[in-house]
Amino acid sequence: MRHYTRAQDVDTDSLSHVDLKYLEFTDHSTGSENDPVILLHGLLGQKRNFASLGNSLALQLNKKRRIFAVDLRNHGDNTHDWRNEMSYSHMAQDVLGFMDTIGIQRAVLIGHSMGGKVAKSLALSNPDRISGLVILDIAPVTYTENDPSWNAVQGIIQTLKEVDLTPGGKTKRDVDMELRKSVEDPALRAFVLTNLEVISLEDKSQQLRWKINIDAVADQLHKIASFDVQSIDIGSDEGLGVQYLGDTFLIKGGASSFVKGSHMPVISRHFPNYMLTTVKGSGHWVHAESPDATLALMKKYLER
């Protein structure tokens, strides 16, 4: 597994996209005729969430492909270029910019949750660049406070925004104790805490800081909840007629409510060549909760 951190001193105001940090999980950088795979994480996630999955795909696929995972804007190692805007159009352009930088003409996108919406947005706006979609437990719809699952997400973001990291000597355990007041699931708290890092100050003391741009995430949460097809820039005013005709494989967690029967009409409208499968007993983080089943499904799709 190769780790790239291409931090540069740049004028971010002049850039149209964020120079995303990424991992590549295979050394098959040449000689493969199969389109690469790009893994896109969800809200509060990062590229390392896909380390096990990325390595397994690189090793087990008979049709060898380059396998990448990126940090989406305001997440992971992109602290060099935090942005205030988090629309799906902007995040899709970031991924397109990554593809152009690496020299990828076409790719299969695998996206979880927010990353799944980024993948869908890019496929709808630039279908010629996307040779397939695998979407993990998210629909191309707007989630509201009436949805218990999304309401829980909003609560977590608000809690993180209110956590005070300034007192010197505060540890991850201290933050974990604060989060327990509103985030009861220990696995979810552990996932959230992967976004904390320790930094050294000028006086040689240490302090915690978030590796996510929590202020921007909180401010843009309404856009992250949405999926406005009409805003996709394809040179057409007929937003509701936008379609991606490539193969779309939707993997739903059986115990999750993020993909419902009521979402099927809008899914089929914009992604008519879709197939849906459910991983029984799995929740929203289907790739983490049921890794073997998810890997088997992805391999079947990529080997087709």
Q: Are residues 72 and 192 in the same domain?
A: no
Structure tokens at 147: 């949805």
Q: Are residues 105 and 138 in the same domain?
A: yes
Q: What is the CATH number of the domain that holds 237?
A: 3.40.50.1820
pLDDT band at 29 (very low <50, low <70, confident <90, very high): low
**Where does a domain end: 193, 218, 243?**
218
Q: Determine phi and psi for 29, rounding to 5 degrees.
A: -80, -15
The answer to whether residue 113 is catalytic is yes
| Total of domains in the chain | 2
Q: Are residues 153 and 138 in the same domain?
A: no
Q: What is the pLDDT of residues 236-292, one digit of tens each?
A: 444 456 899 999 999 999 999 999 999 999 999 999 999 999 999 999 999 999 999
Q: Are residues 20 and 163 in the same domain?
A: no
Q: Are residues 136 and 40 in the same domain?
A: yes
Write down the H helix ranges in the chain: 51-60, 88-102, 114-125, 148-162, 172-179, 186-193, 214-219, 221-225, 264-270, 286-289, 291-302
The answer to whether residue 284 is catalytic is yes
Q: Which residue has the higher pLDDT, 6 or 188?
A: 188
Q: Are residues 82 and 191 in the same domain?
A: no
Q: Are residues 70 and 30 in the same domain?
A: yes
Over range 132-154, report the average pLDDT. 92
Which entry of 131, 284, 287, 290 is annotated as an active-site residue?
Answer: 284
Q: Are residues 257 and 108 in the same domain?
A: yes
Q: What is the pLDDT of residue 170?
A: 85
The answer to whether residue 215 is catalytic is yes
Q: Are residues 58 and 74 in the same domain?
A: yes
Q: Are residues 255 and 135 in the same domain?
A: yes
**Where does a domain end: 169, 197, 218?**
218
Find out whether 268 and 245 touch, Cβ atoms under 8 Å: no
pTM comes to 0.89
Q: What is the pLDDT of residue 289?
A: 93
Q: Are residues 31 and 163 in the same domain?
A: no
Q: What is the pLDDT of residues 273-287, one digit of tens each?
A: 999 999 999 999 999
pLDDT band at 28 (very low <50, low <70, confident <90, very high): low
251: left (phi over 0), alpha (psi -120 to 50) or beta: beta
How much of the chain, in percent, has pLDDT values that exceed 90?
Answer: 69
Which entry of 27, 185, 215, 233 is annotated as an active-site residue?
Answer: 215
Q: Which domain holds residue 76?
A: 2-142+227-302
Q: Are residues 12 and 138 in the same domain?
A: yes
| Pick from 137, 45, 153: nearest CA to 91 | 45
Which entry of 56, 113, 125, 256 is annotated as an active-site residue?
Answer: 113
